[in-house]
């Protein structure tokens, strides 16, 4: 880690074996969902690997989640146990009366934390027993038996769906391996590489599987930073001799916009995965002395398309060629194949079992919908050229992506509508710059009420993850609707930011994190 902690693969293996043995003795069952809300530490890697070895199902929680979104995830997962850093227990206390399944809270505290509490707050204590993280370790470090099957579930990963609230993606051991191996292929990863996490937390698949698991497979070194900040980027790269990094659009833009220095291309960094690729990707490579690769995939369908360093990149929409693991087709609204160069929905299909999600957790109808006609429908628009390369155009869905975080517009709308002065609202993405989306909300206030944007932001700041809070707010007398009463969001997206739009960043409003 950037704080100086170091652990070998052998030690991770032995310690996660102890965790697997201990969790079984503690009472965590085979294929039982377990909520995990932990910071980016070596202990989190132990937890993830240990739960997998035991055959349990990890349900990672974004550390920014709180209130109704946290409640919804806890209840939907049906998990009875949570492994949680003591700093976040207060968030469970806030929703304690509404937790339907949780009955055990396992408290974690990092070494050196001052006097971590060993008990639960009062409301949570009425329904949940408490245990300490250390209670989950056995003295036995042999491999856990029986080993899980590659078709077993390893995780429920919550990600924004195409029709509203976040959905749990049911992922198997084979699925996770394909995700990690595909990421490693993007970089030609090897034992000589040092992979910097750069703002990809372990509760995200990108941090957990694309960085850590991929490095495990090929023996690379992971450089893990807790609490990433852009200001740390180049100092971490230099101090820890990092050679590989995944760059989300926001981080790439930050680096590009910094004043150019003569030493920009004299760092250890050589290989960059950029998602999405910025328009100035060629200039970025020349300035920083790196090569750029990219790809296309999702939590549901891992790495079906890859662009390698040594292949030409016609433009920043190109994401590469389909891999040998998947078939990729562009289909129209009737699921007929589109002609070359014609935009349609990107659809994928694995060539081997278990290498795509099993489905959406507890949502069989929606699972059947996205897998209709034997193809997984991604909800993304794209096209293929005459050589078979895939080009990503836009999202067809009601979700958006901001700085690496998938955001459901419905979840944001639910929170905005909780304000007593809001009659109704519509949330949608707007593009800022070449490759970054921001959240915008158009609001119709209650009759006779004047709602100030600053007051709404203060209200949301106590209820929502910071990355979900709208940057842009505009008020209107009426949101456009169809004759049947459905909001016509496409009209709002087309209109976008106007002179009447209030900008939270321009107003200097800071959010809690």
The CATH number of the domain holding residue 432 is: 3.30.300.30
Indicate if 470 and 435 belong to the same structural domain.
yes
Indicate if 362 and 237 belong to the same structural domain.
yes
Asked whether the CA dihedral 164, 168, 174, 177 is positive or negative, the reply is positive
Indicate if 204 and 287 belong to the same structural domain.
yes
Q: At what angle do helices 281-288 and 249-257 cross, to 10 degrees?
A: 60
Please name which of 402, 415, 443, 444 lies closest in space to residue 248, comparing C-alpha atoms. Answer: 402
Indicate if 107 and 234 belong to the same structural domain.
no
Look at residues 395, 424, 453 and tell me which one is the last residue of a structural domain.
Answer: 395
Question: Is residue 296 domain-resident?
Answer: yes
Question: Is residue 157 domain-resident?
Answer: no
Asked whether the CA dihedral 497, 502, 503, 504 is positive or negative, the reply is negative
Helix, coil or strand: residue 126: helix
> In this structure, what CATH number is given to the domain that contains residue 13?
3.40.50.980
Look at residues 148, 182, 208 and tell me which one is the last residue of a structural domain.
Answer: 148
Residue where the block lists tokens 């979840």: 411
Indicate if 132 and 174 belong to the same structural domain.
no
Question: Is residue 160 domain-resident?
Answer: no
Look at residues 377, 395, 413 and tell me which one is the last residue of a structural domain.
Answer: 395
The residue range of the domain holding 123 is 9-148
Indicate if 138 and 251 belong to the same structural domain.
no
Question: Is residue 204 domain-resident?
Answer: yes
* Per-residue 3-state assignment (H helix, E strand, C coil) for 48-75: HHHHHHHCCEEEECCCCCCHHHHHHHHH
Tally of domains in the chain: 3
Question: Is residue 508 domain-resident?
Answer: no
Indicate if 108 and 21 belong to the same structural domain.
yes
CB 269 within 8 A of CB 242: yes
Question: Is residue 444 domain-resident?
Answer: yes
Please name which of 209, 202, 205, 154 lies closest in space to residue 184, comparing C-alpha atoms. Answer: 209
Indicate if 468 and 499 belong to the same structural domain.
yes
What is the chain's pLDDT, residue by residue, as a tens digit (513 residues)?
A: 888 889 999 999 999 999 999 999 999 999 999 999 999 999 999 999 999 999 999 999 999 899 998 999 999 999 999 999 999 999 999 999 999 999 999 999 987 675 666 789 999 999 999 999 999 999 999 999 999 999 999 999 998 544 457 799 999 999 999 999 999 999 999 999 999 999 899 999 999 999 999 999 999 999 999 888 889 999 999 999 999 999 977 788 889 989 999 999 999 999 999 988 988 899 999 999 999 999 999 999 999 999 999 888 998 889 999 999 999 999 999 999 999 999 899 999 999 999 999 999 999 999 999 999 999 999 998 999 999 999 998 777 666 777 777 787 878 888 999 899 999 999 999 988 766 889 999 999 999 999 999 999 999 999 999 999 999 999 999 998 865 567 888 789 889 999 999 999 999 999 988
> In this structure, what CATH number is given to the domain that contains residue 295?
3.40.50.12780
Q: Are strands 318-322 and 390-395 parallel, antiparallel or unpaired?
A: antiparallel
Question: Is residue 509 domain-resident?
Answer: no
Question: Is residue 335 domain-resident?
Answer: yes
Indicate if 101 and 42 belong to the same structural domain.
yes
Indicate if 471 and 418 belong to the same structural domain.
yes
Indicate if 206 and 308 belong to the same structural domain.
yes
Indicate if 385 and 435 belong to the same structural domain.
no
């Amino acid at each position: 880690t950037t704080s100086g902690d170091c652990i070998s693969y052998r030690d991770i293996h032995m310690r996660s074996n102890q965790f697997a043995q201990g969790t079984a003795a503690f009472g965590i069952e085979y294929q039982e969902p377990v909520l995990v809300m932990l910071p980016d530490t070596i202990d989190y890697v132990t937890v993830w690997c240990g739960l997998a070895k035991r055959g349990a199902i990890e349900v990672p929680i974004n550390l920014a989640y709180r209130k109704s979104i946290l409640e919804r995830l806890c209840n939907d997962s049906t998990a009875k146990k949570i492994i949680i850093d003591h700093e976040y227990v207060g968030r469970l206390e806030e929703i304690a009366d509404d937790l339907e399944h949780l009955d055990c809270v396992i408290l974690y505290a990092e070494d050196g934390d001052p006097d971590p509490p060993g008990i639960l707050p009062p409301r949570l204590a009425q329904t949940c027993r408490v245990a300490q993280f250390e209670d989950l370790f056995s003295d036995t470090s042999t491999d856990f038996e029986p080993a899980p099957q590659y078709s077993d579930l390893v995780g429920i990963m919550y990600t924004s769906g195409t029709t509203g609230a976040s959905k749990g993606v049911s992922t198997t051991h084979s699925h996770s391996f394909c995700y990690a191996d595909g990421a490693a292929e993007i970089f030609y990863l090897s034992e000589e590489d040092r992979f910097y996490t750069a703002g990809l937390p372990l509760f995200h698949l990108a941090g957990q599987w694309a960085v850590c698991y991929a490095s495990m497979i090929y023996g690379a070194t992971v450089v893990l930073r807790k609490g990433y900040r852009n200001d740390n980027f180049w100092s971490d790269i230099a101090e820890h001799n990092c050679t590989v990094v995944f760059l989300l659009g926001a981080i790439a833009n930050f680096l590009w916009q910094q004043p150019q220095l003569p030493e920009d291309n004299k760092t250890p960094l050589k290989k960059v995965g950029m998602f999405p690729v910025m328009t100035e990707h060629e200039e970025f490579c020349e300035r920083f002395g790196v090569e750029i690769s990219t790809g296309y995939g999702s939590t549901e369908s891992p790495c079906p398309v890859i662009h390698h360093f040594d292949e030409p990149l016609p433009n920043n929409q190109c994401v590469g060629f389909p891999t040998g693991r998947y078939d990729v087709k562009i289909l129209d609204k009737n699921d007929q194949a589109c002609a070359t160069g014609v935009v349609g929905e990107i659809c994928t299909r694995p060539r081997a079992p278990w290498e795509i999600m099993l489905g959406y957790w507890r949502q069989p109808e929606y699972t059947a919908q996205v897998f209709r006609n034997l193809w997984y429908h991604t909800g993304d628009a794209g096209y293929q050229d005459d050589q078979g390369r895939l080009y990503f155009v836009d999202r067809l869905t009601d979700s958006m992506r901001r700085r690496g975080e998938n955001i459901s517009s419905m979840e944001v709308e639910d929170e905005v509508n909780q304000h007593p002065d809001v009659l109704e609202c519509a949330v949608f993405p707007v593009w800022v710059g070449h490759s970054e989306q921001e959240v915008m909300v158009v609001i119709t206030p209650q009759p006779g009420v004047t709602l100030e944007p600053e007051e709404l932001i203060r209200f949301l700041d106590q209820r929502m993850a910071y990355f979900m809070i709208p940057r842009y707010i505009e008020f209107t007398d009426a949101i456009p609707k169809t004759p049947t009463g459905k909001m016509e969001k496409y009209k709002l997206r087309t209109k976008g930011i106007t002179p009447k739009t209030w900008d939270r960043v321009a107003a200097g409003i800071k959010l809690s994190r």
